[in-house]
């Protein structure tokens, strides 16, 4: 928690540039768009990772 407060204080003293804010908002918008596509069921199957089981380890006594 203290680390977060120190970071916020640093941003208050030296705010990020306009380009950095726009970049952050663009990344946030892309993440929200991907999450919305996934939630709506419109995410293509080709981009979905296949759920695989981890390899089984055979232990012989």
Residue range 3-40, pLDDT digits in tens: 999 999 999 999 999 999 999 999 999 999 999 999 99
Cβ atoms within 10 Å, residue 43: 14
pTM above 0.75, yes or no: no
Alpha-carbon Rg of the chain, whole angstroms?
21
Q: Does 50 have pLDDT greater than 90? A: no
| Residue 27: predicted pLDDT | 98
| Residue 56: predicted pLDDT | 81
| Residue 14: predicted pLDDT | 95
């Amino acid at each position: 928690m203290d680390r977060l407060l120190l970071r916020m204080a640093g941003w208050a003293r030296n705010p990020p540039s306009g380009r950095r804010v726009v970049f952050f908002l663009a990344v946030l918008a892309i993440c929200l768009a991907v999450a919305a596509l996934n939630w709506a069921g419109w995410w293509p199957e080709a981009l979905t990772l296949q759920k695989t089981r981890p390899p089984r380890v055979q232990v012989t006594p």
